[in-house]
Structure formats: structure tokens, C-alpha cells
């Protein structure tokens, strides 16, 4: 019996939409690896992440090393849940470049709860204090301005989750 092709799971949604919760569920099957941007950035650059510009600079460093690594995992037959933001066309181009170097399948998960739900989850997450980053409501709105949902022309296999994870 043939082994199923590995799958790259991608996630798109505003802050506190439920991406990391869904990512953890998607990573449960054997042979599936979870790679979470917030964890890596938090460990490597926490003290250096004060502004959106800082995030862009350090995220690009992380992507430079993670892209080939994710491709090698997929090419080795493992599925990967890439818990990196896919909220901009640029970030999705990077993800597409990973796919283009593999024979992997993919699913692009869009989490689309209303902003009010995201903000309530954000408040809860901040109160718990167990997330690598605390985000204010003002930052939520500032960052949400850059959110651009994927279009069908981008060629991803879209799976929409209306209420988040």
C-alpha cells in the first residue's frame, strides 16, 4: 500500500483567530511536525521585538532558514503544520516557494471569526500570560490593517473555518 503524500498545512487569520489552537489539532497525527513562528521568534528575538518593523526584520531571518528546512521535512515524507502568519500576499509567496520545491499536498486553513471574538480571545490570552507575546487591542487593529485574505488566483487549496478553531 502506498504511503500518503505529506501535507503542508498553512494558516491564515487575524491575531487570536485560533490559528495556534487549530495548528495543535492538525499536528496530532503521527508523522506530522508543528513549527510555530511565535515560539521561534519568542526564543530567538524576544528582547528585540518591540515594533512591527522589528517583527518583519526577524521574521524574514527565520523564514530564510525555515523555508528549506520545511521543504526537507516534506521531502522526507513528514507532514508539516506551519503556524506562521499567512496574512499577506508576501508571506504566502514564501509559503508557495516552499511547496514548489516539494511534491507535498497542502491545505490552506482560513480562520475567520469576527473581530469581537478575536479581541475577546486576545484579552483572555493576555490575562493567562502563557503566549510568547502580549498584544494590545490597539496593536491588534494596527496589525489587522495588513490582513489580506487569499484569493483563488493564488492557487491554494482553501479550507475556511468561520468561527476559528
pLDDT tens string 40-92: 988 888 788 777 788 788 889 999 999 999 999 999 999 999 999 899 999 99
* Domain carrying residue 133: 7-161
Which three cell numbers mark 6?
A: 505529506
Q: What is the CATH number of the domain that holds 155?
A: 3.40.50.300
Rg (CA), the chain: 16
What is the total count of domains within the chain? Answer: 1
Instruction: Tell me if 1 is assigned to some domain.
Output: no
Confidence of residue 105 (pLDDT cuts 50, 70, 90): very high
Look-up of cell digits 489587522: 144
pLDDT tens string 14-27: 999 999 999 999 99
Helix boundaries (H) for 76-145: 89-99, 115-128, 137-144
Q: What angle do CA 35, 143, 110 make, to 5 degrees?
A: 50
- DSSP percent split of the chain into helix, strand, coil, nearest 5: 50, 20, 35
Strand, helix or coil for residue 137:
helix
Instruction: Tell me if 2 is assigned to some domain.
Output: no
Amino acid at each position: 500500500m502506498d504511503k500518503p503524500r505529506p501535507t503542508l498545512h498553512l494558516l491564515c487569520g487575524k491575531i487570536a483567530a485560533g490559528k495556534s489552537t487549530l495548528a495543535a489539532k492538525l499536528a496530532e497525527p503521527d508523522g506530522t511536525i508543528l513549527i510555530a513562528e511565535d515560539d521561534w521568534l519568542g526564543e530567538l528575538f524576544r528582547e528585540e521585538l518591540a515594533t512591527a518593523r522589528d517583527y518583519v526584520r526577524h521574521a524574514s531571518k527565520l523564514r530564510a532558514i525555515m523555508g528549506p528546512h520545511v521543504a526537507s521535512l516534506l521531502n522526507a515524507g513528514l507532514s508539516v503544520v506551519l503556524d506562521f502568519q499567512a496574512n499577506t500576499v508576501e508571506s504566502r509567496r514564501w509559503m508557495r516557494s516552499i511547496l514548489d520545491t516539494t511534491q507535498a499536498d497542502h491545505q490552506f486553513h482560513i480562520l475567520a471569526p469576527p473581530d469581537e471574538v478575536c479581541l475577546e480571545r486576545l484579552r483572555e490570552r493576555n490575562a493567562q500570560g502563557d503566549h510568547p507575546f502580549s498584544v494590545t487591542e490597539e496593536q491588534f487593529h494596527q496589525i489587522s490593517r495588513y490582513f489580506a485574505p487569499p484569493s483563488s488566483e493564488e492557487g491554494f487549496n482553501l479550507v475556511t473555518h468561520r468561527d476559528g478553531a
